[in-house]
Amino acid sequence: MKLTEAKLKKIIQQVLSESEVPQEAKDKLFARMKSKGQVPEGEGIEDAEFWEVEEGDFGFKSAVKVGDKYYYGEI
């Protein structure tokens, strides 16, 4: 199979959608970042990065729990 750029992009999108961070977690984390003055002027939630974390991972102590998973984000 020849791996074209289009196929590679499709694979990446599939993997990212499998581990998508719930909007509720994004909203909670972004609100916390704003309240702590960590969001540069002119930046929005779409400029932040969010990911799932587990105990022992960087950011776990500041993570929010949604369902049975923990999420962290930065901007």
Q: Tens of pLDDT along 1-45?
A: 677 888 878 777 776 655 689 999 999 999 999 999 999 999 999
Alpha-carbon distances, residue 26 vs 20, 34, 44, 45 (angstroms):
10, 12, 11, 8
Beta bridge partners of 71: 52, 64
**pTM exceeding 0.85:** no
What average pLDDT does the segment 50-64 reach?
A: 95
Please measure the distance between the N-terminal and C-terminal CA atoms of the chain and give it in whole angstroms.
Answer: 38
Whether 64 and 29 have beta carbons less than 8 Å apart is answered as yes
Domain ranges of the chain: 21-74
Question: Cα dihedral sign for 6, 12, 14, 16?
Answer: negative
